[in-house]
Structure 1
Amino acid sequence: MTERSERNRATSGGLGLASARADEFALIPLPLAPALLSTEDGVVVRATEQAVKLAGETTPAALIGCRLADLVVRDGAVSLLRARGGRIPVRPLSWPHADDERLRVTVLLDVSDLTEAVPEQNNVGDSKERRWLIEAQRIAKVGSWVYYPETGEMYQSPVLSEFLGSSTTDDATNVGAMIALTHPEDRQRAEQFYRDVLRAREDELLEVELRDLPGRRVYLCTGRAEYNRSGRIERVQGTVQDVTEHRALERQLRDERRKLQDAQRIARLGTWEWDPRTNVMRLSTMLHEIIGKPTTAHTTFGSYLERVHPDDQEWVRQAWRPLIDRNEPVEVEHRYVRLDGAMRILRLHGTAIRDADGQTVLVGTAQDVTEQRAVVTRMERSSQRFTDLVSITPVGIGVFDGAERLVDANDALCDLLGYRLEQLRGMTVPDITHPDEQATGLPAPGERCGIRRRVPQRVLVRSDGEPVYCELHTSSSVQDDGTQFWLVVFQDITERRRAAEALRYQATHDDLTGLPNRAAVKDLLSNLLGRADSHRVAVLFCDIDNFKRVNDSLGHDAGDELLVALARRLEGGLPDGCTAARLSGDEFLIICQDIEVVGGVDSLATRVSGLLRTAVPVHGQLIRVSASIGAAVPNGTGAGGEDLLRFADAAMFEAKRRGTGKVSLASPALMASADRQLHLEGQLREALNNDGLALHYQPVVNSDGVVVTAEALVRWPHPDRGMLAPDAFLPVAEQGDLLRELDRWVLRTALREAATWPARNGRPVGVAVNLAGLVPGGPEFVDAVADIVAETGIAWDRVILELVETALVDLPSRTRHEMGELVGRGVRFAVDDFGTGYSSLARLKDLPAQIIKVDRRFVAGVGGDASDFAVARAVVDMARAMGRQCVAEGVETATQFHVLSGVGVEAYQGWLFSGAIPAHAFRDLVGRGPLAIPGA
């Protein structure tokens, strides 16, 4: 007996208590660590073998009966275990026992590697144990640290230093240095972790996951604060565990883990112990619940057998004999009848152990497997299922030895490479790698086994010589004999690669013609203009003349067929070094890498013009087409690809103004004009965003001079050029793709202002908005109009949407449905400038509109030109016969008014009554009542 044991047992009387209750405490489960079990008054009643070894004793008896306060003492900031070989720095962790709160479990963590304190008798064995501890930390991938708040010093174990790539080992550092070694995105959480630890309750364990500085590894960091008797923190201890592989494994085995968790969740497992000398059986709380007995009930082997199903009692009694007579382990599964009459199936395991006094005790488990039998069976077969899964999975899996020779493979890998397994065995990685592939080996193994690596693409070769594109996932490991091997997963990405190439092609090529699109044009121009000879580059912008007429008369399918035919002519007829592209609609682009090789801009433009001036059979008809072409070359000012496109586009518009089939070269003046146009476009965009435009309103009156509606006309109060009419900036809006946004602004502003107009005699004035970009059939047309009407609060029947005649010809059913939906809510549609489009008067009956506006060119001559009068009268008669309202535009004389009134025109718009006036002036005009009609 040691001197320590003599002293404690003599002073506390704990020896008698410990001896008397040794049997009772012998089977209470303790952690597999240096652990002590003590009573409420601090007397040790049980010690694990690890605790005995840590204390330098040979048997638990040397510790049992001692007071815990005498065994573990405080020396400043360090707790010391009084051991036979000296005092060992430890970290005690204590908590109430789960089965009996009167008992406490204390685990002693050896922290010799974290403190400068050393055993009193330092020797070679202590140093060896320290090395063993550090090696154990490396194996477990766990480092440790201690922080002293009062001094700000922090100590880290050698393993933690290795984790962090720190140059210090067992040397003091500080919190800031530790935080600096974490990933920048995690440093705020690391700082919060240290702050939380310093505010935590005593024995409260905090955790946080952080990445290392490169972001490749993930660590689980824990910390716990230790307080002194005055309530101040003496030190903070923690661990850092590398969980990178754990997280990867969790993702990989999530499905299997879920199945196992389900099985564990529904399984109920209890424990028992049986002392053959007293015939008393002690059952755990769960086992009491399983067999339906109260925890206060006395249980013996006989009372247990009484509840066994009568048909099973005899053979169960015999099944227990090997354990009772010879202490041989047994496994018994039988039926059990609970006190409530329910029958369960129990699976029991039993074995014999010796307690601390050397007496034999029978212990075991009992599990209710009535419902869980199938689950347990599945769990037992999990390994086989995994093997079968590898065998049948469609992903190729191969095992390679250290020399990168294939040892084994599943059927999917054999099918992928076109070999039988016997043929594959012995092949090396270079043997199955395509000759064009530069990388022929597996990735270099990591410092530790189990590190997984991914190779995004590797080209393998099949037995027939065809290439196979694979993504490789590799992991190195070792067999039981220490031999290294590779586990490689081959994911066939050949189809994925083809799909990616197809997507790249689609992203850079036009769907209809297959020519390069705008994105490809930008890339090509960027490359060409970055060369030293960029001055030789030329761009030709081609627009098919009157292409809209083909779409309107023959339909969009015919237009598409025409575009495809022209694309093929360009592809086959352009000289080498020239690339044809389609930007949008009927716009083609020709990019020439070296204009001098093809004879100059004029020669190339003439050739392209000839290719696009042709007759093409479309839908059984021979369509003759031509193109307006604008050409541009770099002007030496460092213009980029977008600038070159703008200059060519501006030259094309100049050519189109001169007539069909013309060619124009972008001159310096034209380029300057294009720059001004771009500047004006930017100003217009800013004006739209900042409500920098204004609306004027021109009244529409009936024959009595009463204002019934007003047409909203947009104006631009330009800061430099004054008030601009629409014809000055609408082309800019069209080229800048701003028409839709402009229409939304005009519609929203007009409806908002009209909602405030006064109503005379209960008749509110309607408002008409001419649409050019926001048109039926366009994206979100109905929703856009409905949202604006709801936002402004105006009545639906006051809204008139004007469209030009050509926009309403050959409407598809979906567009007609959209218009009908708005008409059903009260909106009216008006045909603006009727008679100037490509349709005949006979098509009037097909137009989904309620108002017909006769174009001012016919109104101007109704007083003296018989033809104009006849057209106007025909339009009015047909409109009235079909229930449409007829409005005459451009009425400027009393004669025109009287003639039109005589043929039945219902409303009039023009300078005879009023021009377009600002919003406030129009409100005053409406408030004054009917307008006076000159000559009436």
Structure 2
Amino acid sequence: MDLFFRYSRCIINIQQLSAHSTPNLQRLVFYIHYLYLSIFYQLPFFYLQHLVYSEHKNNILEAKEKFDTLAHHDPLTGLPNRLSLIETLQIKTDNMENHPFALLFVDLDGFKEINDSYGHRFGDEILILFTKLLQDLFPKDTLIIRPGGDEFIIVIELKTDHHSIQMCINRLIQTLNDPFNIDHTEVYISASIGISLYPEDASNPEELLQKADAAMYKAKSFGRNSYNFYNDGLTQELLERTTLASNLKKAISNHDLALYYQLQINPHTGKIIGVEALARWFTEEETTPPSVFIPIAEERGLIIELGSFVLEEGFKTAVKWMEQGIFSGRIAINVSAKQLIHQNFLLQLEELLHKTECSPSWIELEITESSILEYPEKMIALLGVIKSKGFKISIDDFGTGYSSLSYLKHLPIDKLKIDISFIRNITMEPKNQTIVKTIIALAKGLGMEVLAEGVESIEEMEFLLVNGIDSIQGYYYYKPMDRESIELTFTKLESRMQ
């Protein structure tokens, strides 16, 4: 980005000088400018051929106008593009009068998953409809730019205070609560928006964009459809998150992550019925908890790689334990929404089964309740295919995602896992007791098993036992252990049973 900024400033200065120079120098500047942009934006080579032909026809000015239009606009949406953004910001920040303006960095949440699920033509339609939505909601003199991908930049003059900007953003967020309808398919999209102010937050284009980007990532951490104004602490926070993401990518590539396993127990018999595989990240300096690195993986597009690592290691472990005869239950493996709807997920499962010689009956795939609610019809069909291959399927953190019971009854689910938030201090919380009893009854009525997560005390265990829980996972029985430790536990438990 810095190289591009320096180039843009340089070419503007040369153009200003060449405007008063010879025609040959003007042509030279023009072609250097075009060649650079052709490489940077991968513009078709026939444009250059057209320009050379036009020069022979003495139409260099006409050709330049056509090229400038192509070079400064996004061909899909018709909006100004990244080059136009840089030049505009350069002009606005070079202005000695320092007219204040706001820069909004808009990122569409989950857009890659829509492309992966429905195809790029479908995604293009979303971008076109979103462009029209922005044009309808923001003032007519607003500059709306698509620098690329699923990102949009909005530049708004600050005539009074921030209130007018917030009103526009709130209207946008409210409107995005309604779905886009494409090819008779309803698709929900949301946006995370970061805002930086000129000259309050920064005095040059690079910093304005960097700070709006930092604010956008902070907005993403709040959840979908939210916005955030830049503050001084965000730059350091973004730097730390970027460093963490870089280190995480290296750790995944180098297989430096580890799987820990937590036992799942039938409280009626005391027998092991399964284990859950849990990703852990240890370095020589520190331990980074999953609550930190998993959101980073989601945010920075690493969740597919992380999920693939966990699946393969989990499959290999299941094979090893079954061959050794030390474990006869299932290994539960978490699958993120982004993994699940990826176009290659079913193929990946097939390849891993073949590569590891793992039986699908040894594996339970855990999906979150929220991932089902994002794409309910698609999930019903997809999970049906996965179930037909022999995998067991459970819903993790059940009760936290505002379930639609109309979808739940159609899903090929084997087990509900009650979220830890309902188990904690259950003997002291009458409302939690009612919720847990209801979930257990619901699961039984739908022919599903039900497991309670995060059980730590005998009081919690006894309450769940009396109310018909099928299995329990938590520190009351066992904490998560590395593979060697849990294999030793299997051996000890086996010797006690003999």
Map 1:576-615 onto structure 2 (within 5 A): 578-581=143-146, 588-591=152-155, 598-599=158-159, 602=162, 605-606=165-166, 608-609=168-169, 612=172
1:713 counterpart residue number: 278
Given that 2:426 and 2:432 are in contact with CA atoms closer than 8 Å, whether structure 1 keeps it comes out as: yes
* Structure 2 residue matching 1:832: 3-state secondary structure: strand
**Cα distance in structure 2, aligned partners of 1:888 and 1:772:** 20
1:813/1:715 Cα in 2 relative to 1: closer, same or farther (>3 Å)? same
Q: In structure 2, give the amino acid aligned to 1:524.
A: S
1:850 counterpart residue number: 414
**Cα distance in structure 1, aligned partners of 2:231 and 2:178:** 37
**Cα distance in structure 2, aligned partners of 1:753 and 1:617:** 43
**Cα distance in structure 1, aligned partners of 2:441 and 2:463:** 14
Given that 1:569 and 1:611 are in contact with CA atoms closer than 8 Å, whether structure 2 keeps it comes out as: no
- 1:906 Cα shift? 1.4
2:354 counterpart residue number: 790
1:693 counterpart residue number: 257
1:569 counterpart residue number: 136
**Cα distance in structure 1, aligned partners of 2:495 and 2:91:** 69
Are residue 522 (structure 1) and residue 82 (structure 2) matched? yes
* Structure 2 residue matching 1:710: 3-state secondary structure: strand
Given that 2:307 and 2:336 are in contact with CA atoms closer than 8 Å, whether structure 1 keeps it comes out as: yes
Once the two structures are overlaid, the 10-residue window that deviates more, 665-674 or 900-909, is 665-674
- 1:864 Cα shift? 3.9
Given that 1:744 and 1:774 are in contact with CA atoms closer than 8 Å, whether structure 2 keeps it comes out as: no
* Structure 2 residue matching 1:846: 3-state secondary structure: coil
2:436 counterpart residue number: 872
Map 1:283-322 onto structure 2 (within 5 A): none
2:319 counterpart residue number: 755
1:675/1:906 Cα in 2 relative to 1: closer, same or farther (>3 Å)? same
**Cα distance in structure 2, aligned partners of 1:525 and 1:582:** 7
**Cα distance in structure 2, aligned partners of 1:803 and 1:561:** 32
Partner residue of 1:647 out of 211, 219, 240: 211
Q: In structure 1, give the amino acid aligned to 2:141.
A: P
- 1:759 Cα shift? 7.3
Given that 1:711 and 1:769 are in contact with CA atoms closer than 8 Å, whether structure 2 keeps it comes out as: yes
Given that 2:190 and 2:224 are in contact with CA atoms closer than 8 Å, whether structure 1 keeps it comes out as: yes
In structure 1, list runs of 5 or more residues that go unmatched: 1-454, 461-468, 473-496, 548-555
- 1:868 Cα shift? 2.2
1:521/1:770 Cα in 2 relative to 1: closer, same or farther (>3 Å)? farther
Given that 1:609 and 1:626 are in contact with CA atoms closer than 8 Å, whether structure 2 keeps it comes out as: no
1:651/1:904 Cα in 2 relative to 1: closer, same or farther (>3 Å)? same
**Cα distance in structure 2, aligned partners of 1:660 and 1:457:** 45
Given that 1:709 and 1:766 are in contact with CA atoms closer than 8 Å, whether structure 2 keeps it comes out as: yes
1:658/1:736 Cα in 2 relative to 1: closer, same or farther (>3 Å)? closer
1:921 counterpart residue number: 485
Q: In structure 1, give the amino acid aligned to 2:84.
A: L
Partner residue of 2:468 out of 885, 904, 913: 904
* Structure 1 residue matching 2:355: 3-state secondary structure: helix
Given that 1:694 and 1:715 are in contact with CA atoms closer than 8 Å, whether structure 2 keeps it comes out as: yes
1:728/1:791 Cα in 2 relative to 1: closer, same or farther (>3 Å)? same
**Cα distance in structure 1, aligned partners of 2:127 and 2:495:** 52
1:378 counterpart residue number: none
Are residue 667 (structure 1) and residue 231 (structure 2) matched? yes
* Structure 2 residue matching 1:757: 3-state secondary structure: helix
1:780 counterpart residue number: 344
1:827/1:580 Cα in 2 relative to 1: closer, same or farther (>3 Å)? same
- 1:619 Cα shift? 8.1
Q: Pick the structure with more strand per residue.
A: 1
**Cα distance in structure 1, aligned partners of 2:147 and 2:171:** 15
Are residue 680 (structure 1) and residue 244 (structure 2) matched? yes
Given that 1:774 and 1:781 are in contact with CA atoms closer than 8 Å, whether structure 2 keeps it comes out as: no
**Cα distance in structure 1, aligned partners of 2:426 and 2:443:** 17
- 1:681 Cα shift? 1.4
Map 1:15-164 onto structure 2 (within 5 A): none
1:778/1:745 Cα in 2 relative to 1: closer, same or farther (>3 Å)? same
Q: In structure 2, give the amino acid aligned to 1:826.
A: G
Given that 2:326 and 2:490 are in contact with CA atoms closer than 8 Å, whether structure 1 keeps it comes out as: no
* Structure 1 residue matching 2:431: 3-state secondary structure: helix
Query: Which deviations, in whole Å up to 9, do the C-alpha atoms of 1:528-572 show, x marking residues without a partner?
Result: 46669459685312469999xxxxxxxx9999998466323245x
1:107 counterpart residue number: none
Query: Which deviations, in whole Å up to 9, do the C-alpha atoms of 1:598-618 show, x marking residues without a partner?
Result: 448847734643653666895
1:803 counterpart residue number: 367
**Cα distance in structure 1, aligned partners of 2:175 and 2:241:** 35
TM-score by length of structure 2 reads 0.69
Q: In structure 2, give the amino acid aligned to 1:751.
A: F
**Cα distance in structure 2, aligned partners of 1:919 and 1:806:** 30
Given that 2:72 and 2:84 are in contact with CA atoms closer than 8 Å, whether structure 1 keeps it comes out as: no
Query: Which deviations, in whole Å up to 9, do the C-alpha atoms of 1:628-667 show, x marking residues without a partner?
Result: 6422358779874xx7545323313545778999764323
- 1:761 Cα shift? 7.2
**Cα distance in structure 2, aligned partners of 1:921 and 1:877:** 36
Map 1:263-278 onto structure 2 (within 5 A): none
1:581/1:696 Cα in 2 relative to 1: closer, same or farther (>3 Å)? same
2:44 counterpart residue number: none
1:877/1:806 Cα in 2 relative to 1: closer, same or farther (>3 Å)? same
* Structure 2 residue matching 1:716: 3-state secondary structure: strand
2:389 counterpart residue number: 825
Given that 2:71 and 2:83 are in contact with CA atoms closer than 8 Å, whether structure 1 keeps it comes out as: no
Partner residue of 1:702 out of 266, 269, 276: 266
Query: Which deviations, in whole Å up to 9, do the C-alpha atoms of 1:139-163 show, x marking residues without a partner?
Result: xxxxxxxxxxxxxxxxxxxxxxxxx
**Cα distance in structure 2, aligned partners of 1:659 and 1:458:** 48
1:745/1:546 Cα in 2 relative to 1: closer, same or farther (>3 Å)? closer
2:308 counterpart residue number: 744
1:676/1:810 Cα in 2 relative to 1: closer, same or farther (>3 Å)? closer
Partner residue of 2:445 out of 874, 877, 881: 881
Partner residue of 2:423 out of 816, 836, 859: 859
Query: Which deviations, in whole Å up to 9, do the C-alpha atoms of 1:807-850 show, x marking residues without a partner?
Result: 12374655434332322221111100111112244543122221
Q: Pick the structure with more helix per residue.
A: 2
- 1:765 Cα shift? 3.1
* Structure 1 residue matching 2:261: 3-state secondary structure: strand
**Cα distance in structure 2, aligned partners of 1:626 and 1:882:** 33
Query: Which deviations, in whole Å up to 9, do the C-alpha atoms of 1:438-480 show, x marking residues without a partner?
Result: xxxxxxxxxxxxxxxxx955999xxxxxxxx9xx9xxxxxxxx
In structure 2, list runs of 5 or more residues that go unmatched: 1-47, 58-62, 112-121, 181-188
**Cα distance in structure 1, aligned partners of 2:479 and 2:192:** 38
Aligned residues with identical type, % of pairs: 24
Given that 1:540 and 1:605 are in contact with CA atoms closer than 8 Å, whether structure 2 keeps it comes out as: no
Structure with more contact order per residue of length (Cα contacts < 8 Å, sep ≥ 6): 2
1:725 counterpart residue number: 289
- 1:908 Cα shift? 0.8
**Cα distance in structure 2, aligned partners of 1:617 and 1:824:** 34
**Cα distance in structure 1, aligned partners of 2:422 and 2:398:** 10
**Cα distance in structure 2, aligned partners of 1:583 and 1:731:** 24
Q: In structure 2, give the amino acid aligned to 1:828.
A: K
- 1:738 Cα shift? 0.9
* Structure 2 residue matching 1:912: 3-state secondary structure: coil
* Structure 2 residue matching 1:887: 3-state secondary structure: strand
Q: In structure 1, give the amino acid aligned to 2:349.
A: V
